[in-house]
Amino acid sequence: MCRLSNTKMRAITQLPTPAEIKESIPLSKSGIQTVLQGRRTVENILTGEDKRFLLVVGPCSIHNTREAFEYAQKLAGITKKVQNRIFVVMRLCGDKPRTGKAWTGFLQDPRMDGSCDIASGWREFRALAIKILDLELSVGCEILDAENYQRIDDLPSYGWIGARNVGGQRERQIASGLSIPTGFKNHPVGGIRTALDAMSVSIHSNIFAAPNDDGVSSRFVTDGNQHSHLILRGMDTGPNYDEKSIETAIKNLGLGEKKLLQRIVVDASHGNSRKNHLTQRSILCNVLEQRLANNQNIVGVMYESYLLDGSQTLDDPQNLKPGISVTDSCDGWERTEETILKMYEMLG
C-alpha cells in the first residue's frame, strides 16, 4: 500500500512524557517555595504592589551546566545584597531561536554536535534549574518550543515570547494559559504593534489542542494571562529604550478597549545594544534614570551576562573556551557585578 504520511521522516523515536520527566527529577520543597515566591513577586512588581525593580539577568543561552551553575552561585550571592531594591531573576534559556540552520539550544542538542539527544537535554536542563532554585534564586526563560517548555513549566517565575515568535498565533494562545507573568518582545521590523496584538489575545481565554503531561492530545481552555506585558528590545532600525519611545509605547498600551497592562520591561541587549554587550550598562543606567524621573511604568530590565566577556563561535564544540557565551555576547561577571551594584546605588 502506498504510504501517504511521514514520507520524509528518516526515524521517529518515542520520548519521555512531561509527567515522566517531572517525576524522575522532582522539585524540592525549598525549590517549590522559590518558584511560588518568585511568581508572586514578579506579579506584584507588574501591578505596582511591590516597588522593587525587576532584573532578569544571565547568559544568552545555556550550553554548559557546570558553568551555568557557577554563574548562578555568584548571582545568588549578590542577589541577597540588593534584594531590598532589586528582585533578581536568572535568565535560564535552553532554546535558541534561529533564522537559519544553526545550534538550537541545550534542550534540543545538549552536546552541540547535531546528535540532538533531546531526552538528555530535558533531564540535564531540568536538574540544573532545580539546583539553581535550591539557591533561592528564581529563574526565567523564553517560551519557544512548547514540547521543551512543558518539561520545565513548573520551574520558571518569569517568561517571555521572543521577537521572532511574537507574531505566532500558537504562542499567543499558549501564553494565555501560562502560570507565569509573560513578556512580549516587540517585533524587530514591525515595532510594538505585533506585540500589542499578541497581548490582546493572551489576556483573554483561549481554546486549543495540545498534548497534556501524559502525552495525550487534549482540549485546553485557558483563563487568560493578566500579567502579559511589553518588552522593548530595539528594532532593526535602532534602539527603542529612549524616553520618547517608552512614552509612546505606554500610550499605545492604554489605547482602545484592550485594557493592556501599562508596564514596560526594557531589554538592554539585542536591538537596543546593537549586539554590543559593552553598551548594556549605559542602557540600564539610562532606563533607571527614566524610572527615577517618576516613570513608574518602567518596572524592569533584561541584561545578558555570563562568566567572561564576549562570545565565541561553535566551530569546534569540543574545544570551547570556558566561561564564554556561544551565542550573543555577554558582559563578564566582574562587569556584571559592578553594574548590578551601580543599579542598586541609583535606586537608593
Specify if 329 maps to a domain: no
Q: What residues form DSSP beta bridges with 139?
A: 90
Specify if 341 maps to a domain: no
Specify if 10 maps to a domain: no
> What pLDDT shows up at residue 191?
87
Over residues 129-157, the mean pLDDT reads 97
Encode pLDDT of 259-306 as tens digits: 799 999 999 999 999 999 999 999 999 999 999 998 999 999 999 999
> What pLDDT shows up at residue 31?
98
**CB crowding 89-110: b at 16 or more within 10 Å, else e:** bbbbbbbbbeeeeebbbbbbbb
Residue in the structure block whose three cell numbers are 551594584:
341
Displacement of CA 193 from its chain's centroid (Å): 20
> What pLDDT shows up at residue 99?
66
Specify if 347 maps to a domain: no
Specify if 340 maps to a domain: no
Residue in the structure block whose three cell numbers are 558553568:
67
Residues in Cβ contact with 131 at an 8 Å cutoff, skipping those fewer than 6 apart = 69, 72
Helix, strand, or coil here: 158?
A: strand
Return d(Cα 138, Cα 337) in angstroms, integer: 18
- Residue 35 is part of which domain span? 18-51+59-80+88-322
Over residues 164-177, the mean pLDDT reads 94
CATH of residue 134's domain is 3.20.20.70
Q: How far lies 109's CA from each of 64, 192, 202, 293, in Å? A: 12, 32, 30, 45
> What pLDDT shows up at residue 258?
66
Specify if 110 maps to a domain: yes
Query: Could you tell me the three cell numbers for 288?
Result: 533607571
Q: Give the total number of structural domains in the chain.
A: 1
The yes-or-no verdict on residue 319 having pLDDT over 70 is yes
The yes-or-no verdict on residue 326 having pLDDT over 90 is yes
> What pLDDT shows up at residue 101?
76
Query: Could you tell me the end-to-end alpha-carbon distance of the chain, in angstroms, rounded to an integer?
Result: 74
Specify if 234 maps to a domain: yes
> What pLDDT shows up at residue 255?
84
17 pLDDT band, cuts 50/70/90, is very high
Specify if 171 maps to a domain: yes
Q: What residues form DSSP beta bridges with 318?
A: none
> What pLDDT shows up at residue 90?
98
Return d(Cα 143, Cα 235) in angstroms, integer: 20
Residues in Cβ contact with 231 at an 8 Å cutoff, skipping those fewer than 6 apart = 160, 183, 184, 185, 186, 195, 264, 265, 266, 267, 302
Query: Could you tell me the three cell numbers for 247?
Result: 512614552
Mean pLDDT of the chain: 95
Encode pLDDT of 248-263 as tens digits: 999 999 987 667 999 9
The yes-or-no verdict on residue 84 having pLDDT over 80 is yes
